[in-house]
Amino acid sequence: MPLLEAEGLTKVFRRPDKDPGLRGSLRHLVRRRYTEQVAVAGVDLAVEAGEAVAYVGPNGAGKSTTVKMLSGILVPTAGSVRVAGLVPHENRVENARRIGVVFGQRTQLWWDLPVQDSLALLRDMHGIGPKRYAQVLERLDAVLELGELLPTTARKLSLGQRMRADLAAALVHEPSIVYLDEPTIGLDLAVKDRVRAFVRQIVADGTTVMLTTHDLGDIEDICRRLVILDGGRIVYDGDLQAVKDAYARDRVMHLTLAEPPASAGGIAARLPLARVSDGATDRELTVTFDRLAVSAVDVLAAASAEAEVVDVRIDEPAIEDVVRKVYAGELRPGAEGVA
Ligand SMILES: Nc1ncnc2c1ncn2[C@@H]1O[C@H](COP(=O)(O)OP(=O)(O)OP(=O)(O)O)[C@@H](O)[C@H]1O
Q: What is the pLDDT of residues 162-204, one digit of tens each?
A: 988 999 999 999 999 999 988 888 788 888 888 899 899 999 9
- The pTM for the full model equals 0.76
Q: Is 76 in the pocket of ligand 1 (CB under 6 A)?
A: no
Question: Which atom of ligand 1 is found nearest the CA of 66?
Answer: 18
Choice between 289 and 190, residue whose per-residue pLDDT is larger: 289
State what percent of residues in the chain have pLDDT above 70. Answer: 94
Distance (Å, rounded) from C-alpha 224 to C-alpha 166? 24
Q: Which CATH architecture has domain 4-245?
A: 3-Layer(aba) Sandwich (3.40)
Tell me which DSSP letter residue 155 carries: G
Tell me, what's the ipTM?
Answer: 0.97
Residue 28 has pLDDT above 50, yes or no: yes
What are the residue boundaries of the structural domains of the chain, listed by start?
4-245, 249-316
Distance (Å, rounded) from C-alpha 283 to C-alpha 261? 7
Q: Using alpha carbons, select from 126, 121, 92, 94 the residue that is nearest to residue 108.
A: 121
Distance (Å, rounded) from C-alpha 164 to C-alpha 157? 10
Residue 308 has pLDDT above 70, yes or no: yes
Q: Is 104 in the pocket of ligand 1 (CB under 6 A)?
A: no
Q: Is 106 in the pocket of ligand 1 (CB under 6 A)?
A: no
Q: What is the pLDDT of residue 48?
A: 94
Q: What is the pLDDT of residue 232?
A: 94
284-290 and 250-257 beta bridge pairing: antiparallel
User: Residues with Cβ < 8 Å from 68, sequence gap 6 or more?
Assistant: 74
Residue 30 has pLDDT above 90, yes or no: no
CATH number of 249-316: 3.30.2130.10
User: Residues with Cβ < 8 Å from 106, sequence gap 6 or more?
Assistant: none
Q: Name 45's bridge partners.
A: 6
Q: What is the pLDDT of residue 336?
A: 40
The arithmetic mean of pLDDT across residues 141-149, rounded, is 86
pLDDT band at 107 (very low <50, low <70, confident <90, very high): confident
Q: What is the pLDDT of residues 229-279, one digit of tens each?
A: 988 999 889 888 778 777 778 889 999 999 987 766 888 999 999 999 988
Q: From atom 30 of ligand 1, which residue's Cα is the shortest distance away? A: 60
pLDDT band at 339 (very low <50, low <70, confident <90, very high): very low
Q: What is the pLDDT of residue 78?
A: 97
State what percent of residues in the chain have pLDDT above 90. Answer: 50
Q: What sign results for the dihedral spanned by CA atoms 215, 242, 272, 321? A: negative
Instruction: Give residue 68 CA to ligand 1 midpoint distance, Å.
Output: 11
pLDDT band at 329 (very low <50, low <70, confident <90, very high): low
The arithmetic mean of pLDDT across residues 318-331, rounded, is 67
Residue 321 has pLDDT above 80, yes or no: no
pLDDT band at 318 (very low <50, low <70, confident <90, very high): low
Tell me which DSSP letter residue 294 carries: S
Q: What is the pLDDT of residue 80?
A: 96
Pocket test for ligand 1, best of 17, 37, 75, 229 (most atoms within 8 A of CB): 37
Q: Give 201-245 as a 3 state SS string.
A: HHHHCCCEEEEECCCHHHHHHHCCEEEEEECCEEEEEEEHHHHHH
Q: What is the pLDDT of residue 327?
A: 65
Q: What is the pLDDT of residues 33-69, one digit of tens each?
A: 778 899 999 999 999 999 999 998 888 899 999 999 9
Q: From atom 17 of ligand 1, which residue's Cα is the shortest distance away? A: 64
Distance (Å, rounded) from C-alpha 24 to C-alpha 46? 45
Q: What is the pLDDT of residue 319?
A: 65
The arithmetic mean of pLDDT across residues 104-112, rounded, is 86
Residue 14 has pLDDT above 80, yes or no: yes
